[in-house]
């Protein structure tokens, strides 16, 4: 089971470290990642494997949202089923 995690906000030290630490602490593997800074804005998109997660998916989504609030960025987490459904329409 996979999910897409999107992180957006003003660039500052530690964003990648905090996000990846939360993932690692919950046995969530980053399978692919794209990150850039555009005119002071940080953007990151990750494909993560949540199959072995220590958290149920809804708790994972909430934990990511709360982390975003804590570090001053927006973090959106979407299950892969959303993207699969869009391609079937």
The domain spanning residue 13 has which CATH number?
3.30.70.260
The domain tally of the chain equals 1
pLDDT of residue 75: 98
Inter-residue contact 34 to 45 (CB < 8 Å): yes
For 73, phi then psi, to 5°, come to -135, 170
Domain span holding position 36: 2-88
pLDDT of residue 80: 85
Q: Report residues of the chain scoring pLDDT below 70.
A: 82-89
pLDDT of residue 88: 61
pLDDT of residue 86: 59
Q: Other C-beta atoms within 10 Å of 16: how many?
A: 14
């Amino acid at each position: 089971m996979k999910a897409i995690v999107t992180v957006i906000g003003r660039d500052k030290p530690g964003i990648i470290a905090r996000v990846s630490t939360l993932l690692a602490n919950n046995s969530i593997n980053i399978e692919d990642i794209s990150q850039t800074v555009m005119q002071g804005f940080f953007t990151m998109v990750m494909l993560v494997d949540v199959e072995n997660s220590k958290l149920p998916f809804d708790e994972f989504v909430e934990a990511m949202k709360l982390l975003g609030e804590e570090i001053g960025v927006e973090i959106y987490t979407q299950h892969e089923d959303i993207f699969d459904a869009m391609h079937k329409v």
